[in-house]
Chains A and B, each alone.
Chain A
Amino acid sequence: MSVEVRLPTVLRVHAGGNSSVSLDVENLRELFEKLTELYPAMAGQVVTDEGSFHRFVNVYVNDDDVRYLEKLDTKVRDGDVVTILPAVAGG
């Protein structure tokens, strides 16, 4: 039972240089709690102290932005891939 979390370059420095981490969790709230337990420097990076997502970060479960799903309550299952990406411009 595990979920793969893919980290963007800008966050790897807070996660011991890892580009991905495997966690055994059931939803995103739990996922970010465990990630912070594992790497304390991740605190406040993706989820703010107020409990919402950082303004310039987008989180996807299997390619879908979770702001349009159940946000932090989005459930994850064994084999799911969670991707964290910074907000960038195009055009």
Chain B
Amino acid sequence: MASSTDIVLKVEDLRVQFHGDGPVSRAVDGVDFEIRNGETVCIVGESGCGKTVTALAVMGLLPQPPARIAGGRILFGGESLLEMPSSGLRALRGKRMAMVFQEPMTSLNPVFTIGDQISEAILVHEAVTTADARRRTIQLLEDVGITDPGKRIDDYPHQLSGGQRQRAMIAMALACGPELMIADEPTTALDVTVQAQILQLLKRLQQHSRMAIQYITHDLGVVATIADRVYVMYAGMIFEQGTTGHIFNNPRHPYTMALLDSLPTREKRGQRLYSIPGSVPHPAYKPSGCPFHPRCPHRRPSCVDAFPEMCDYGEGHLARCPILYGMERDSA
């Protein structure tokens, strides 16, 4: 177990609500997780389960209002981000923590060259000359695997392919050598071969620095490729957490099991693919008790009322299902 000084990011009982017309949406409803130096942590879950809102809350990028952080703490390198004034947060963003967005097509400003945008990230946070920033930008572009960076630096975003743009976005995130990079589904908009290249790139970059990566995705294939540890999110809560091995070989929560069952594999060839019945509950209309109970194959009458607590399986493997935990203990 790593010591507490290793922890880059620690989120405790984070709650984010959206206030609009009608009932309050509890998009993130008590999330705990931590990320250590040099570690890749995946947050997995279906669309609408609060993954992106969690990431935006960490970056301090939630639009407030309508969003409101209703409780919890976010500790980055020991400092509490929620109590930090906005100027301090701004100095942190881009320098010590950076974010890569889902859509490389729209995340770059169309009227500036990529070189301008990457060197801006350097110039904002560090006292360097424009020439130095440009030199570093070329180096960054080379690091992220863009061919002929000396020429590409003066290209506008529309001249680059999707994969190249995402590489440019990653270069921008890396510009000041952040301790934490939050990647919000960075490969979802890319095709599979480019996706594999980007994942490889992230792994390679991580080997060179001690950067931690919080990787948000709904693609379990990606998780298996890059994650050290996995958090499975559902309805604004963590449902299961553990190492990649725990989650894939020994899932302890019905939701995780259902997710894995939905994957196509060679053995299931020719059969009808499993899909979880129903859909993710609306954040303003969550079921009572266990939020997953309407869709759960292991449902008991008690699930309707009792809120499930985290059950510890040891070695950092936790799951939010007392029913399966009880069955496991009885059989042991």
Binding partners A and B: no
